[in-house]
Structure formats: C-alpha cells, structure tokens
Chains A and B, each alone.
With several copies, the nearest count.
Chain A
Amino acid sequence: MKQIYLDYSATTPVKREVVDTMLPYFTEIYGNASSIHGFGQEAKSVLEQSRKSIAETINATPDTFYFTGGGSEADNWALKGVMRANRKKGNHLITSKIEHHGILHTCTALEKEGFEVTYLDVDAEGMVSLEALEAAITDQTVLISIMFINNEIGTMQPVKAIGEIAHKHGVLFHTDAVQAYGNVKIDVNEMNIDLMSVSGHKIYGPKGIGGLYIKKGIRIQNIIEGGAQERNRRAGTENIPGIVGFAKAAVMADENLEAHREKLIYLRDKLANGIMDVIPYAKYNGHPTERHPGNVNICFEFIEGEALLLSLNAKGIAGSSGSACTSGSLDPSHVLLAIGLPHEIAHGSLRLSIGDFTTEEDVEYTIESLKEIVQKLRLMSPLYDKVLKEGK
C-alpha cells in the first residue's frame, strides 16, 4: 500500500545527503573530539565547523551555540539554567499555556524548587497578547519563554516584539524554536532572542541532537556536568555524527528556505481548503496566516481523533491528534483547550503536517480518504445522529 507521511511536525526522515555526510564519522573519523591525536583533532575540527555552520544560519557567532541531546534538553537547560543562576535577580518566569511539555513540565519542576511561573493565555487563534505579557512582568521577572511556532496548531508568535518587551524591562527572552527553525528565517539578533532551543530531527537531520543558542554574557547553570566539552557548559563526549548531520541539515534547510516555504504553503493551503470544502462540521485551528508553512490542524465534530488516525493509518496515511484518547489522559491537548475549544470538539482534532517529500497526489488522496473516513465514523457516532435528526 502507498504510504503517505503527514507527520513532519512529529519528526522528519533524515535526508539522504545528511546520512551520507554522517557516515564517515561512524567508522573512519571516529575520534573523541577531546583527544589531541589526529583522530581527535579531525573530529574537533569538524565539530567546530558544524557549530559555525549552524550559528551562521541564525546570524550568531559560533561561540554562542551549544550542542545538546535534543530539543527537550535545550528547553530544560534554558529554563532551569537561567532561573537557578539568577536567583539573586528574581524568581519569576513568564511563559504561555500552549508551550511544549519540554517547557511546561520544566516550569512545574521549577515551581517545586520555589520559582514562580505565570502561564499566559492565548486567544482563539493561539496568539499571546503582548499587553498581557508586558503586564505580567514584575521586578522579580528573570525570563520570558515563549515558543516561536506551536507544534500542534502551528501558530507563530510575534517573537521580535516579545523580545523587545523583554529587553525594555531588562528581562531575558528564550524561545523554543524547535518547530520554527528550518521553516522560517531566524535572526537571533534582529529578533531580540537571548536563548533559543532547536532540534535536529525536525529539519531532516538526526534524532538525539539539538542545540541551545545562548547569547554571550548570560548567566546560566549547567544541567549536565562532567567533562569540559562545549566550553565547560555541557558535558559528554560529543556526538560527532549527529552534530555533522544536524549541521548539514541546517545548512540545506537554510539554503533552500524560500522554495521550501513556498512549496509547503501551497500544499498546506490546498490540503486545508480541500478538507474544509468537502467536510462539513469542521473547524480549522490556529492562525490563518501567521502559522507554520506545513501545519494543518482541523477538528471534526462528532468523532474522536484516535479513531480518525487509525482509519487514516489503514489507508496508509500518517497523521497525529490532540485527542485525549491518544494521549492516554482524561483531557485532550492543553493547546486545544487553551484556544478555547470545548472538550468534545478538541477530541476530534487532526494534525496533518506537510514536508519536503509531500506531493500534490498525497494531498489529493488524503482529502478523498478523509472525506470517506469522517463520513463513516460519523455514521457510527451517537452525536451525529442527533444532528441528522434534529438539525444543528
């Protein structure tokens, strides 16, 4: 059966060119970058070259970019590291209700350590209010952490303006750019970003590698102590193949950014409009324009997301859902609740995320299949029953 992957926001395949770049570093140039012999120095040199390449894509200097084991580690490091290192300055952190769990659960942990956290509301389209943000700042506020692009509904925040407000009040600004990096152009200087988390596997690079941009001069504690790697800030033998692959993916994404965006936006709109045209009782979530170029998120009334995913999967289509039944918890996704969706509608959510290997046929096939599936599931649904009988 044909397999259609529409879950690029969950993870991406590693591009062939990226794997090819990585291969020699497994079996030939395998040295430990801390060793002074040739094997080690070759590794060291490619490590620093990779750091430089990635730094350039965000207009940063190489000495401000640190490799981590992924996006979650970067998020944990940014928040715990900055809050713990700046206790003297204050104990208050501002974030939003729609952050990734890498941020939200770190905030819970920080609250247990005695820090105070403000979780900002978002509007129906997933936007943080700049006024509410500014109003939340107190003289205890050390850090604002607002994600660049939301992973579920795709909404993109006004990052530059947020950074401006932060700096106006002498507060640091971190952004979780795991979904944004490689999909929108990021300039950490121009956008007033002090710390930024990124991850390899969302941009056609390998899993298990990510990074944290830390502007020079920022006080931050380590969360992984040990060897002197990453200029004494993040211990552990450097994952050279992962780093090389991440850098290759980052450079490829950067060089191809405009074409990539155009293609994705075209297919995304075709998919979203196609679905909305043929399926009634559906709601398109997220912001209409300020959104991830590949993100489509729609709620279908009267049916449940997991059932939808399984049916799609049976047709070879891979998507994702924020329904409670997929999360194993009682509540549907915190993001869908934060944009004000009632539980029963949030249950029927579907995220289809488009990427570089998506084709126009994939999109067409998906629209058709989805139409059939939603129809079939609705005919089984006691809720749809009522609509058919009583109208709505």
Chain B
Amino acid sequence: MLYTEKVMDHFMNPRNVGEIENADGVGEVGNVKCGDIMRIYIKVEGDQIVDVKFKTFGCGSAIAASSVATELIMGKTIDEALALTNKQVIDELGGLPPVKVHCSVLAEQALKAAIYDYATKNALTFKGLEGYDPDEDHHDHDVVDIEF
C-alpha cells in the first residue's frame, strides 16, 4: 500500500477537524497553487494548549499529518508543542513515502505559525520561536532527504 495503516486511519478518521471560535492563535501555511494549505487553531490556558483544531486542503498524508500533529500537542505546554518536529509526525504515522515528507513539514510549520500568532497577540516570547520568520516559504516539495 502507498500509506501505512496509521496514515490511512488518520486520513479516514481525522482527529480534531474543524475550527475554534475565538481561537487564541491561528496559523496558516501552504499555497493553493501547490495544492496544500494547512490551518491550525489553538486555544491556550496559562501555558497549556487546551484545544486544537485544523483544516487542511491537501493530499492524504497532509490530512493525516495535520490530524496526528494536533493529537500530539493536545494538552501540551507551548514549549512542548514548539519542540514538535516533522520527524515525530512521520514516526507517529509509521512513516511516509519520501515524496510526502514535505506534507509533514507543513504540519510542523502550521503549528509554529499558530503559536507565533498567539505570541504576537499577547506580546509573549518563546524560546522555540527564536529565529522564526512567518513569511519564510515553508513550502518545499523537495524535502526528501530526511533520515527515518
């Protein structure tokens, strides 16, 4: 099969789809032209992410990666969430085909964007956001040389 059972499960039964009214942070990355847009909403209480939702326009692994990423950070602190890498997303999915690695990068970036939005709105700084540039093009279909 193209994808692992785990990918198919998250694709067919995505967790945390939707949006959060009055979210504390919203991040959107990707580009319609390239066929993938990911938007993540977070609700924060104290330094904890108490709710997270996503909407994704993209392929099966983009949807599965969004789903897994939201699951991984639900209930975590902001700092913990910022430590999430696309490699963790891939591991959690039981692997992705090389040409689909960029879809997991998108999930990592969408989350960072949401936290950045929250940080900016509340004038907060987080170590994990140092050097983060929201306008950077995160979208690279050629990210394939990641070791699993």
A and B held together in a complex:
yes
Chain B min CB distance to A250 (Å): 26
- Binding-face segment, B58-66, B116-124, B128-136: B58-66
* A381 to B1 alpha-carbon distance, docked (Å): 25
- Binding-face segment, B10-18, B42-50, B71-79, B82-90: B10-18
Whether the pair B14, A380 counts as a contact (CB closer than 8 A) is: yes
How many chain A residues touch B (CB < 8 A): the figure is 28
Residue among A323, A329, A383 having the largest count of chain B Cβ atoms under 10 Å: A383
Residue among A36, A303, A314, A382 having the largest count of chain B Cβ atoms under 10 Å: A382
User: Which residue of chain B has its CB nearest to the CB of A347?
Assistant: B35
Interface residue tally of chain B, by bracket?
20 to 34
Which chain A residues lie closer than 8 Å to B12 at the CB level?
311, 314
* A302 to B57 alpha-carbon distance, docked (Å): 7
B146 within 8 A of A: no
Chain B min CB distance to A373 (Å): 11
B37 within 8 A of A: yes
Which chain A residues lie closer than 8 Å to B11 at the CB level?
307, 310
Whether the pair A379, B17 counts as a contact (CB closer than 8 A) is: yes
A-B contact count (CB 8 A): 75
Which chain B residues lie closer than 8 Å to A310 at the CB level?
2-3, 8, 11, 60
Residue among A36, A302, A307, A323 having the largest count of chain B Cβ atoms under 10 Å: A307
User: Which residue of chain A has its CB nearest to the CB of B35?
Assistant: A347
Chain B min CB distance to A142 (Å): 31
Contact indicator per residue, chain A 342-360, by CB within 8 Å of chain B (1) or not (0) = 0110010000000000000
Within 12-57 of B, Cβ neighbours of A (below 8 Å) are at 12, 14, 17, 19, 28, 32-39, 55-57
A306 within 8 A of B: yes
Which chain B residues lie closer than 8 Å to A381 at the CB level?
55-57
A330 within 8 A of B: yes
* A307 to B12 alpha-carbon distance, docked (Å): 9
Residues of A near any B CB (own CB < 8 A): 36, 41, 45, 302-304, 306-307, 310-311, 314, 323-326, 328-330, 332, 343-344, 347, 379-383, 385
**9 other contacts beyond A314-B8, A380-B57, A382-B28, with CB at 8 A cut-off?**
A36-B2, A304-B58, A304-B62, A323-B59, A325-B58, A328-B99, A347-B35, A381-B55, A382-B39
Residues of B near any A CB (own CB < 8 A): 1-3, 8, 11-12, 14, 17, 19, 28, 32-39, 55-60, 62-63, 99, 141
In the assembled complex, 26 residue pairs joining A and B whose CB atoms fall closer than 8 Å, in A order, are A302-B57, A304-B36, A304-B57, A304-B62, A306-B60, A307-B59, A307-B60, A310-B2, A310-B8, A324-B35, A325-B35, A325-B59, A326-B59, A329-B141, A332-B35, A343-B32, A343-B33, A343-B34, A344-B33, A344-B35, A347-B32, A382-B28, A382-B56, A382-B57, A383-B32, A385-B19
